[in-house]
Structure formats: structure tokens, C-alpha cells
């Protein structure tokens, strides 16, 4: 369903009226397209404190030239060397003169360092960058985003910076992403980084899952479209369009993992756990059946299938697991105790399994946590609840399935091996939750 309020605020009368009434003024977001794959403008690189990062070659490969107009499309502030409260003044000094000049739908990325457990002054200063980043994201407006990346190795963060400094991250703001020190695997074809890789997407016959399958196929993956047997016709339609294959299968079946392994004897490089359901009721009115259905699809099947595919070796070395959490699992949502529990469980799975899966199998484990995304499901939500969902984020609008898909594709990228154990919200920086 079209966001008529967003369209209205893009007109002169709409801008005037909403400004006078103090209403949200969302800006149309600049998203990726084949015709316009990058931001329109240059990059301003600033440093606060003393940095040891070798950033220039990494930033050059992000696709943005140096800003020469005074209206940068992106600003990167390297604050990784800040070690005390006094150093935070340099962050203010760097950004204060330029923040107003950042172009509409522009990007600000603050670079920080991991917290040093042996130096509480450094830890305090670096943690301060998180509050700074989230607060700036809530005030900057005009479709601009602000994110924090904690890193020690600039080269390991190359895919992350390329994502955050591109239109692909249009609905990702206020996020804190930690990047390890592993050197990246550089794909042969940067335009098709998943070429030669097999990606399995569950619940891919429609909605967000279909968008994820489409984006991974765009990036070169051979996509397997998995959905329940009742959606087989839609799954085959999607698979045929993308040059992939359909796999009709109930993901909650006890032997689902074994059947996937049997159907894909050459293994899987990317596993996307997208399948999910809702069965909303307040707890006082929720039957045991509704509770069990949601936990079974959204969490138990994810755990069983992941365990089976890891233990059988079906997930290849260098593989990627991307699960779907939700801001409902972070902030909670009335009428969704079952759904919130299942999605919080996904977060627990990611954080616990990620280091072990990487050490034992060479596989990373991350999650995307969507907020209000414009789908057929949200279109059926009552008008006032739908409008609240759209406006209660820093970008004052709903996201699109493509926003979740682009974030998934970044986590699935061969060069994203240093991103592990992360839960990245795709919510326009929802005003609910952290």
C-alpha cells in the first residue's frame, strides 16, 4: 500500500502544512538501482584523535571520490583513537561545522574502536560514541543516516563501509556494528560477489523472502527458493524468474535439515532463515496452539535446521548464516509475546553460536532485525496503527523488503567474514528499543 503521507509531504503545500503543524517530514529515500548504484556526491574523511587505521585505500574502493563541493554525500569520522573524555571534543569539532551541509539521503559513519577492558577511560569514551551516533541519527533528518562501526582493521571493514556508504543501506540508521580483524576474501567480480555460490532462502515465495532471493541472485548466487508445499506454485514462479530452483518443504519437519542436505548434495554457501509467522493475541487470550506454532516456525526450526546443516557439513567453509530477528524481540510488542519471544531467541542463537560456528566450521552467523516493512501483512494493519508504525522511526516512514534484502546481501558477501555475531536492525532507527 502506497504511503500517501510521504507523497503529500513531498509537495509544496504538504511541506508548508506539516512544518506549521510540527508533523513528521519524511524525505524520499535514495535506494540502490542499476542505473544509480552509488550516492550522488563525494566523501569527506575527517579524523578525531590519533588513528592507526589505513583508511584512504579502503574508502577509495567504496566508490566515492573526494568531496570538492562542500556538500558531501558521505562523511566518515575516524574516532578510533579517542581514549578519553577530552578527545570527544574533537568529534564535536570535526562534525559540528559540516553536519548541516551533508546532502539529502547522505551518510555519516563514525569509526570507533572496541572497548578496552584494561582502560575504563578509553571504554567510556568509545561507548560515548554510541550515544552520540544514535542521538545524531534522530536529529539529522532529510533521509540521512548515521551509524557507528567499531573496528581494528580497516581492510576487514571494507564490505561494511561500502554498504553503509551506499544507497543499499537507506533504511539502516543508528546501528553499532563490530567488525573483527580477519582479512577479507575478495571476490573475482565485485559486481557479482556471490557468483559460483549457492544460497538457500526459507519462506522465499513472497514478501521479504522473495526480495532476499532476488537480491542474492542479482549478486550472482544460485538461489534455492524454499517454502511450504502449499506455496509451491509461487516458489517455482520466483525460482524460474531468478534462474534458481524451488524446494517445497515444511521447514518445521523434524528431518527438514536432512532433506535439505539430500536435495543439495554439493552444499550451501549462504543460508537465510527468513520463514516466519505471526499468531497475535494478548497473553491472556493466547492459546497454547498459537504459542507453539510461532515458536516452532520462527525459532525451533531455525535451531534444528542450523544444527543439522552444520553437523552434516552441508554449510561450506566460508559460509554465511543470516537469520531474521525483529525489533519486536528487542523492544517487545503488545499482543506478540509469542513472536517477541521467538525473535529474541534468534538473537540469543546468533550471539552464542557465532564464535563457535566460525571457529569450528568457518561459518559466520548474523541476523537482520526488521522494523516496520511495507508488505501485504502490514498493509492489512488498521490505519492508525499502520501510520504509527511508519512514523515512529528517525526516517519517519516504513521500509521496503529490498532494505532487508540489501542488508542480508551485505552479511552474505564473501568479504564480510569479519562481521560475526551481529544483529543489525533494518528499521530506520526505530524509536522503540535500543
Q: What is the mean pLDDT of residues 56-78?
A: 93
Residue 430 has pLDDT above 90, yes or no: yes
Helix (H) or strand (E) holding 56: helix 56-60
pLDDT per residue as tens digits for the range 398-410: 999 999 999 999 9
> Is the domain 198-426 a CATH 3.10.20.30 member?
no
- How much is the average pLDDT of 344-362? 97
Q: For 1-9, what is the mean pLDDT?
A: 85
Q: Is the pLDDT of residue 433 over 80?
A: no
Name the percent of the chain lying above pLDDT 70.
100
Q: What is the pLDDT of residue 192?
A: 97
For residues 329 and 345, is the Cβ–Cβ distance under 8 A?
yes
Written in H, E and C, the secondary structure of 85-112 is HHHHHHHHHHHCCCHHHCCCCCEEEEEE
**DSSP string computed for 169-180:** GTT--S-EEE--
Q: Between 2 and 401, where is the model more confident?
A: 401
Residues forming beta bridges with residue 226, ordered by sequence position: 202, 247
Q: Range with the lowest mean pLDDT among 1-15, 19-33, 372-386?
A: 372-386
pLDDT digits over 230-269, tens only?
A: 999 999 999 999 999 999 999 999 999 999 999 999 999 9
pLDDT value at residue 173: 98
Average pLDDT of the residues in 71-96? 97
Active site annotation includes 339? yes
From the candidates 339, 342, 353, 366, give the one annotated as an active-site residue.
339
Instruction: Give the pLDDT of residue 183.
Output: 85
Q: Residues, the chain, total?
A: 434
H/E element, 223: strand 222-227
DSSP helix, strand, coil percent of the chain (3-state; round to 5): 45, 15, 40
Q: pTM for this one?
A: 0.96
Rounded Cα distance between 144 and 103, Å, is 8
Q: Tell me what the pLDDT averaged over the chain comes to.
A: 95
The mean pLDDT of 365-369, rounded to a whole number, is 98
pLDDT band at 222 (very low <50, low <70, confident <90, very high): very high
If one compares 84 and 5, the residue with the highest pLDDT of the two is: 84
List, by residue range, all CATH 3.40.50.720 domains of the chain. Answer: 31-178, 198-426
Average pLDDT over every residue of 189-203: 97
Mean pLDDT along residues 116-137: 98
Across 292-306, average pLDDT: 98
Class of domain 31-178 as given by CATH? alpha beta
pLDDT digits (tens, 9 = 90+) for 20-38: 888 888 999 999 999 999 9
The pLDDT assigned to 172 comes to: 98
In the prediction, which pLDDT does 385 show?
Answer: 79
Confidence category of residue 434, pLDDT binned at 50, 70, 90: low
Q: What nine digits make up the cell of 274?
A: 527468513
pLDDT attached to residue 123: 98
Nearest to 147 by CA among 83, 59, 87, 76: 76
Check pLDDT > 80 for residue 382: no
- Please state which of the ranges 19-28, 144-153, 319-328, 364-373 shows the lowest mean pLDDT: 19-28
Residue 79 has pLDDT above 80, yes or no: yes
**Cα distance between residue 50 and residue 53, in whole Å:** 9
Amino acid at each position: 500500500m502506497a504511503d500517501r503521507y510521504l507523497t503529500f509531504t513531498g509537495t509544496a503545500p504538504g511541506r508548508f502544512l506539516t512544518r506549521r503543524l510540527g508533523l513528521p517530514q519524511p524525505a524520499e529515500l535514495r535506494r540502490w538501482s542499476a542505473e544509480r548504484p552509488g550516492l550522488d556526491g563525494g566523501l569527506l574523511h575527517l579524523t578525531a584523535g590519533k588513528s592507526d587505521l589505513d583508511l584512504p585505500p579502503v574508502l577509495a574502493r567504496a566508490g566515492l571520490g573526494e568531496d570538492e563541493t562542500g556538500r558531501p554525500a558521505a562523511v566518515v569520522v575516524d574516532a578510533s583513537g579517542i581514549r578519553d573524555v577530552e578527545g570527544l571534543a574533537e568529534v564535536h569539532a570535526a562534525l559540528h561545522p559540516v553536519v548541516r551541509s551533508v546532502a539529502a539521503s547522505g551518510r555519516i559513519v563514525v569509526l570507533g574502536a572496541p572497548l578496552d577492558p584494561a582502560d575504563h577511560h578509553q571504554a567510556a569514551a568509545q561507548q560515548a560514541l554510541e550515544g552520540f551516533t544514535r542521538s545524531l541519527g534522530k536529529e539529522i533528518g532529510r533521509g540521512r543516516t548515521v551509524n557507528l562501526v567499531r573496528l581494528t582493521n580497516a581492510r576487514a571493514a571494507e564490505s561494511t563501509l561500502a554498504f553503509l556508504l551506499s544507497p543499499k543501506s537507506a533504511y539502516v540508521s543508528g546501528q553499532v556494528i563490530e567488525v573483527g580483524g580477519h582479512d577479507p576474501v575478495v571476490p573475482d567480480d565485485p559486481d557479482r560477489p556471490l557468483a559460483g555460490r549457492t544460497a538457500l532462502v526459507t519462506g522465499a515465495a513472497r514478501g521479504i523472502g522473495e526480495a532476499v532471493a532476488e537480491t542474492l541472485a542479482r549478486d550472482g548466487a544460485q538461489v534455492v527458493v524454499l517454502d511450504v508445499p502449499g506455496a509451491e506454485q509461487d516458489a517455482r514462479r520466483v525460482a524460474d524468474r531468478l534462474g534458481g530452483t524451488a524446494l517445497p518443504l515444511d521447514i518445521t519437519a523434524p528431518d527438514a535439515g536432512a532433506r535439505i542436505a539430500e536435495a543439495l548434495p554439493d552444499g550451501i554457501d549462504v543460508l537465510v532463515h527468513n520463514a516466519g509467522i505471526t499468531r497475535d493475541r494478548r497473553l491472556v487470550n493466547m492459546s497454547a496452539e498459537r504459542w507453539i506454532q510461532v515458536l516452532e516456525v520462527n525459532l525451533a526450526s531455525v535451531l534444528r535446521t542450523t544444527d543439522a546443516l552444520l553437523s552434516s557439513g552441508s554449510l561450506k567453509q566460508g559460509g554465511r548464516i543470516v537469520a531474521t530477528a525483529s525489533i519486536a524481540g528487542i523492544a517487545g510488542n503488545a499482543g506478540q509475546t509469542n513472536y517477541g519471544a521467538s525473535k529474541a531467541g534468534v538473537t540469543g542463537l546468533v550471539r552464542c553460536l557465532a564464535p563457535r560456528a566460525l571457529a569450528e566450521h568457518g561459518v559466520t552467523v548474523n541476523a537482520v532485525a526488521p522494523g516496520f516493512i511495507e508488505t501485504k501483512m502490514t498493509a492489512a494493519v488498521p490505519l492508525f496503527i499502520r501510520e504509527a508504525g511508519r512514523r515512529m522511526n528517525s526516517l519517519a516512514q516504513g521500509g521496503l523488503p529490498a532494505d532487508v534484502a540489501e542488508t542480508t546481501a551485505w552479511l552474505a558477501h564473501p568479504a564480510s567474514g569479519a562481521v560475526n555475531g551481529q544483529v543489525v536492525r533494518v528499521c530506520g532507527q526505530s524509536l522503540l528499543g535500543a
